[in-house]
């Protein structure tokens, strides 16, 4: 069973990725905490590449990374690559985003979640990459109690629910991360990891 390092220190992200990659039979493990890759890219894909390549090279192992976040059209794409650092907590990030939209007059609530994935071989070369995009809208106030981050204010018109109102299976099928893994899976299945 091949081992692939997930370029994150977040056990929740590893668990989430395991769900998507289960059928490949890979053993996923967290990157060691002493390896810290600076996210200096200007796009989600650049940051995913940096993390995957840096961890793969440091450990001489296969590594997979994701970088994801929310882009709000009226805010010029913000919070974008700074989604996790937009404020100190999930609630503070939501509050800040809603305040900024109100200050603009609530004209346009179009938004999208973006998830970039990159897989690097033990030499640090990126062998596969993709970007999944889930278009939606920002709600006037949070709805639902599931999920995390911006999920309570991200609304998917096709399902008539916020991400926080969806079952885990619904979110897996419709989210930016689910879309990205679905795009990558045919190529991942062809890879022979050593």
85 burial level (CB within 10 Å; 0-12, 13-18, 19+): exposed
Q: Give the residue-averaged pLDDT of 78-87.
A: 95
| Band of residue 1 on the pLDDT scale cut at 50, 70, 90 | confident
Q: Give the residue-averaged pLDDT of 132-155.
A: 94
CB pairs under 8 A, 24+ apart, for 89-98?
90/148, 90/149, 90/150, 93/149, 93/150, 94/142, 94/150, 94/152, 94/153, 97/70, 97/72, 97/138, 97/150, 97/153, 98/138, 98/140, 98/141, 98/153
DSSP state at residue 192: -
| Band of residue 108 on the pLDDT scale cut at 50, 70, 90 | confident
Position 15 pLDDT exceeds 90: no
Whether 125 is a known active-site residue: answer: no
Catalytic residue, chosen from 66, 67, 95, 151, is 67
Total domains present in the chain: 1
| pTM for the model | 0.92
Q: Give the residue-averaged pLDDT of 75-81.
A: 96
Q: Which residue range(s) make up the domain with 79?
A: 3-190
Taking only the tens place, the pLDDT of each residue in 150-190 is 999 999 999 999 999 999 889 888 999 999 999 999 999 99
| Band of residue 2 on the pLDDT scale cut at 50, 70, 90 | confident
Distance of CA 137 to the CA centre of its chain: 17
Taking only the tens place, the pLDDT of each residue in 91-100 is 999 999 999 9
Q: Which of 72, 68, 71, 65 is nearest to 51 (CA)?
A: 65
Helical segments of the chain, H only: 11-21, 44-59, 90-103, 168-174, 176-190
Q: Give the residue-averaged pLDDT of 3-30.
A: 89
| Band of residue 148 on the pLDDT scale cut at 50, 70, 90 | confident
pLDDT at 194: 63
Mean model confidence pLDDT for the chain: 93
Q: Give the residue-averaged pLDDT of 126-150.
A: 95
Q: Which of 29, 43, 20, 34 is nearest to 177 (CA)?
A: 20
pLDDT at 106: 66
Instruction: Identify the residue whose tokens are 């920002």.
Output: 138
pLDDT at 181: 95
DSSP state at residue 84: G
Taking only the tens place, the pLDDT of each residue in 44-64 is 999 999 999 999 999 999 999
Indicate which CATH number applies to the domain containing 38.
3.90.950.10
Percent of the chain with pLDDT over 90: 80
């Amino acid at each position: 069973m091949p081992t692939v390092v997930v370029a994150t220190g977040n056990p929740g992200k590893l668990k989430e990725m395991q769900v998507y990659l289960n059928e490949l039979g890979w053993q996923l493990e967290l990157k060691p905490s002493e390896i810290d890759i600076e996210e200096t890219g200007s796009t989600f894909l650049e940051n995913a590449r940096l993390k995957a390549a840096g961890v793969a090279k440091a450990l001489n192992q296969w590594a997979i990374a994701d970088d994801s976040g929310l882009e709000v059209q009226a805010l010029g794409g913000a919070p974008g690559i700074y989604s996790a650092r937009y404020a100190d907590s999930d609630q503070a990030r939501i509050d800040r985003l809603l305040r900024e939209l109100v200050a603009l007059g609530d004209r346009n609530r179009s938004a999208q979640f973006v998830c970039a994935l990159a897989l690097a071989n033990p030499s640090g070369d990126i062998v596969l990459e993709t970007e999944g995009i889930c278009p939606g809208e920002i709600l006037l106030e949070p709805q639902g109690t599931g999920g995390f981050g911006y999920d309570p204010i991200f609304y998917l018109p096709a399902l008539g629910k916020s991400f926080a109102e969806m079952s885990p299976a619904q979110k897996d099928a419709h989210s930016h991360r689910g879309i990205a893994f679905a795009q990558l899976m045919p190529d991942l299945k062809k890879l022979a990891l050593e």
